[in-house]
Chain A
């Protein structure tokens, strides 16, 4: 095992909540009555639905077509009847359009693509088309379509593919379990993506607090060009720029993309989905989701179809122990608070967290005492306390000069703030104001 690497700054949460689910094997979810497949779930343009109310669909059938390059196809998670396209609460807040499919319980449907056991013989272009057809997106963060991330712009030289298995968010163990249980899928998925962008240096970055996943991956890596890099358990190790720095020592320039540092970063879930698409011929219709939090009766990891309503996931986890004070989709550091339990699981929903009222962070208007903790932890080396003061005073120009646009919104600053100031929200506000002005 090589040296443990890390980026500079950041912090390790006092309580990371991972022990709630770290030992819980992934459980396949049963069929539910209805699925709400959100159209606008990928970053970029939402796909156009290609089914209408009353249509019978098979499992795996394409139900929405990518609209342009930065967009991803959607496939039916179950066989059944399309009940229409309705507005549902979206995971990012606000209402979004979703295709409602009522399951008929028959699970009709064959894998729509040819199984390529001999994927080594296929060309990069063919593999890329398959990934695109299968509607694979980044399953960790913003759901950026994977084929876009794999399209290296002309003029950029890429020599490293990094598979992001850091999973630095507290509470979440979905990627951890996936890596520990299906390491072969991830390694082969990584190798396929490596072939597409034609790089031989393929690294899976995993935080040191997942020894079983590291061991499993290392065993699966034997005989391939893929290797495992152990990373320090520090938040936000899984942030793209920080991960690239930790693995390669290169810095992505301010405002740049991973390509600018010669890297492509993909999520472990996406790597597994690539394996499914290429070797098994099935599109992305399910993912591993951690259902956790102190308000959940039996926290665990579940393989849920895309479009499963959150309330069903909560039922799977045995219901609640007390009325939750917060429902979060994603991790507790960067996830989104939800207003209702009707929100469906999307391709990038890595966790469903139910925190009791006392556990959740309660922002206050206490003054900043300039303790400098935020400055210490900021992985982008910003000065959050001064930025926040500038934004509160309406000085968005000063915030711009202070590089607020480089903020990752990782939340490390607000996590350590002893005054519980809503720093990240201020930065998001400033970013949206500044974008408007542009």
Chain B
């Protein structure tokens, strides 16, 4: 019994003392903080992704309060959240276009024809320095996952040596695009549903040698809708500035001969979306 009371007493006294010390410190070494910064920080998602270009949400909150950045620079917050921040600060909430990353390459293990044995560090930047990496195509995704490693949201998955973006997780912070040595990853309007999954400016015949799903610049898509698609050289791409973006139903209608034009959903199943490829493989 004595022991218990003794222990309790000791703990009680120590606790009180420490509490007093903390209180004193809090009082005398107080730093003034802007209440607005704290408020903004609370309204921010707190992911500390760095997609805004600042070190983290706290840093971003400061810059928003200081007027250096509009609230819409935060790629993670929804429009409602941005409106809330703007309302709290009494500034106007401009609606920035939400972005999303897209990996402009469909060349996974099964689609890439020319593959070399690569032996070394599993990192895209390191691989790109060794004779241009293991894939025949020098413009496509290297598939070593440097983008997946830097993504703060776990939105990129490497399947069969190809980076796939999970649209529901991607907030368009752009870290992946920054780290990619091939600049395969582009930030596009979040509501774009279909993309040309190819990044190679090489001649069509060259591309066919290296890859089954490269865009050969046949202009089929541009003929279907000249406003929605642009062709530069032998590479087509969706015109993301067009008034209306093409939708999933357009993929069916265009019937891209190589299968480079896909919906983001189909990109995840690239190896199965044309049964003929697998037959060729065998």
Contact = CB atoms under 8 A, between A and B. Distances in A.
Given A337-B130, A339-B131, A426 B138 contact: no
Contacts of B123: 429
A336 interface: yes
A142 to B, nearest CB: 15
Nearest to A93: B131
Interface residues of B, number: 13
A380 B121 CA distance: 23
A74 B95 CA distance: 56
A433 B125 contact: yes
B147 to A, nearest CB: 14
Contacts of A365: 122
B121 A93 contact: no
B120 A363 contact: yes
B119 A363 contact: yes
Contacts of B116: 339
B119 A362 contact: yes
Interface in B117-164: 119-123, 125-126, 129-132, 138
Interface string A335-354: 01111000000000000000
A425 B132 contact: no
Contact of A426 (B121, B131, B132): B121
Contacts of A433: 125
A211 B235 CA distance: 59
A428 to B, nearest CB: 6
B121 A429 contact: yes
A95 B125 CA distance: 17
A326 B123 CA distance: 21
Contact of B126 (A95, A339, A426): A426
B143 to A, nearest CB: 17
B126 A428 contact: yes
Contacts of A336: 131
Contacts of B125: 429, 432-433
Contacts of B120: 363, 422, 425
A425 B138 contact: no
B112 to A, nearest CB: 14
Contact of A428 (B119, B122, B129, B132): B129
A154 interface: no
A93 B130 contact: yes
Nearest to B123: A429
A295 B129 CA distance: 26
B131 A425 contact: no
Contacts of A425: 120-121, 126, 129-130
A428 B129 CA distance: 8
Contacts of B130: 93, 337, 425
A338 to B, nearest CB: 6
A206 to B, nearest CB: 32
B167 to A, nearest CB: 26
B121 A339 contact: no
B73 to A, nearest CB: 22
Nearest to A433: B125
Contacts of B131: 93-94, 336-339
Contacts of A338: 131
A422 B120 CA distance: 6
Contacts of A93: 129-132
Interface string A304-347: 00000000000000000000000000000000111100000000
B89 to A, nearest CB: 33
Contacts of B132: 93-95, 339
A429 B129 contact: yes
Contacts of B126: 422, 425-426, 428-429
Contacts of A95: 132, 138
Given A337-B130, A338-B131, A339-B131, A94 B138 contact: yes
A38 to B, nearest CB: 15
A213 B116 CA distance: 40
A336 B131 CA distance: 8
B15 to A, nearest CB: 39
A159 to B, nearest CB: 38
Contacts of A339: 116, 131-132
Nearest to A94: B132
A429 B122 CA distance: 11
Interface in A404-438: 422, 425-426, 428-429, 432-433
Interface string B19-51: 000000000000000000000000000000000
A426 B120 CA distance: 9
Nearest to B129: A428
Nearest to B133: A93
B142 to A, nearest CB: 13
A265 B95 CA distance: 61
Can you list the 10 inter-chain pairs with the closest CB atoms, starting with the nearest? A93-B131, A429-B126, A422-B120, A94-B132, A339-B131, A93-B132, A425-B121, A425-B120, A422-B121, A363-B119
Interface of B: 116, 119-123, 125-126, 129-132, 138
Given A338-B131, A433-B125, 13 more contacts: A93-B129, A94-B132, A95-B132, A337-B131, A339-B116, A339-B131, A363-B119, A422-B126, A425-B130, A426-B121, A426-B126, A429-B123, A432-B125
30 contacts: A93-B129, A93-B131, A93-B132, A94-B131, A94-B132, A94-B138, A95-B132, A95-B138, A337-B130, A337-B131, A339-B116, A339-B131, A339-B132, A362-B119, A363-B120, A363-B121, A365-B122, A422-B121, A422-B126, A425-B120, A425-B129, A425-B130, A426-B121, A426-B126, A429-B121, A429-B125, A429-B126, A432-B125, A432-B129, A433-B125
